[in-house]
Amino acid sequence: MEPIFLKDIEQKAKAGPKGPEFEAMEAQGVPVPQILYVFAFRPRMTDHLSRFTQELMRGTSPLSPGARELIAAFTSNRKQPPF
Amino acid sequence: MLKDPGKVRAVLKDYRTAPISEAERSLFAFVDKVNHQSNQIRREDIEEARAAGWDDEALYDAMTVCALFNFYNRWVDASGVHNLPAIGYEMSGHRLATEGYVRAAPEQTAGKNCTAPQVNPRGRTEVVNLTPRMGTELSKENLERQLGLGSATAAAAGEAIAVSIFLTPAAMARSLASPA
């Protein structure tokens, strides 16, 4: 995969504490989702983002997790779906 | 109830004509306005959604999900995160359904059962229950057996998997990681 636009961010993420995990994924033939680099670059900040997301998407709610995922997909759907 | 991927796709293509209940349509109309015209939301928009059966808590959660994924949209757009191959989204969807959004380091999960998502279903009846059916590998029964999940949790995980792997932009935004 082509590097992200912010190449320095990707490089620093790969050089940081999560580097071995990214290498292990690649060694197993698992494509590394590049958003992981955007997270790994600032872990103290993004830890909170992950926990916020987890609680929002999976915590107690009148909307099921699937409903919440569909709302998220609906929000992120900025182009005609390929299907 | 949405029980098939066709209905999920229909909602994503055009919620106004998708084969869903009017209550569900009202919820997506609300989310659509939050997504594209949030500064024009008025009390009447809330009252309309409430009249369709949604309480403030449901609207709060729907609105917050929409706001958060607007954040992720801009975050990945500006960073230049590229699309994954299809298998990447399947793997991400599976992980998100079984582990959730807070990712444990590999050595912490090696040899252990995957932890279930933190799903705490309320005692109340779901007004909306979106459960597209999935292929056999990711079926509720397989999840239940492989991961030792209770049936309610497996159903929720199945839903989450089903939606996660359909949508390229959303699945991309959901491939999240953080040290536990």
Which pLDDT value is given to residue B169?
Answer: 38
| Nearest chain A residue to B106, by CA | A21
Choice between B94 and B145, residue whose per-residue pLDDT is larger: B94
- The answer as to whether A82 is a domain residue is no
- The answer as to whether A81 is a domain residue is no
Which pLDDT value is given to residue B162?
Answer: 39
Angle between helices B43-51 and B56-79 (to 10 degrees): 120
Q: How many domains are contained in chain A?
A: 1
Does residue B122 have a pLDDT over 50? Answer: no
Among residues of chain A, what percentage have pLDDT more than 90? 82
Residue-averaged pLDDT of chain B: 68
Distance from C-alpha of B106 to C-alpha of B165, rounded to nearest angstrom: 22
Q: What is the pTM of this model?
A: 0.72
Which pLDDT value is given to residue B158?
Answer: 43
Q: Where are the domains of chain B?
A: 5-79, 86-174
Q: Which residues contact B146 (CB under 8 A, 6 or more apart)?
A: none
Residue A8 near chain B (CB below 8 Å): no
Distance from C-alpha of A83 to C-alpha of B167, rounded to nearest angstrom: 10
A79 neighbourhood in chain B, CB within 8 Å: 169
- The answer as to whether A1 is a domain residue is no
**Gap from A47 CA to chain B (nearest CA, Å):** 6
Does residue A36 have a pLDDT over 60? Answer: yes
Does residue B167 have a pLDDT over 60? Answer: no
Which pLDDT band holds residue B87 (cuts at 50, 70, 90)?
confident
- The answer as to whether A57 is a domain residue is yes
Among residues of chain B, what percentage have pLDDT more than 70? 56
Contact B170 A76 (CB under 8 A): yes
| Nearest chain A residue to B86, by CA | A31
- Residue for token pair 């959604």: B49
Average of per-residue pLDDT across B17-45: 96
- The answer as to whether A14 is a domain residue is yes
- Secondary-structure class of domain B5-79 per CATH: mainly alpha
Residues in chain A: 83
A18 neighbourhood in chain B, CB within 8 Å: 177, 179
ipTM of predicted complex = 0.92
Helices (H), chain B: 5-13, 22-36, 43-51, 56-79, 86-98, 106-109, 140-147, 151-164, 168-174
Which pLDDT band holds residue B85 (cuts at 50, 70, 90)?
confident
Query: Could you count the other beta carbons within 10 Å of the beta carbon of residue B149?
Result: 24
Contact B163 A69 (CB under 8 A): yes
Which pLDDT band holds residue B3 (cuts at 50, 70, 90)?
very low
> Between A and B, how many CB-CB pairs are < 8 A?
218
**Gap from B109 CA to chain A (nearest CA, Å):** 13
Distance from C-alpha of B85 to C-alpha of B107, rounded to nearest angstrom: 26
Does residue B138 have a pLDDT over 90? Answer: no
Distance from C-alpha of B3 to C-alpha of A29, rounded to nearest angstrom: 33
Per residue in B42-77, pLDDT tens? Answer: 999 999 999 999 999 999 999 999 999 999 999 999
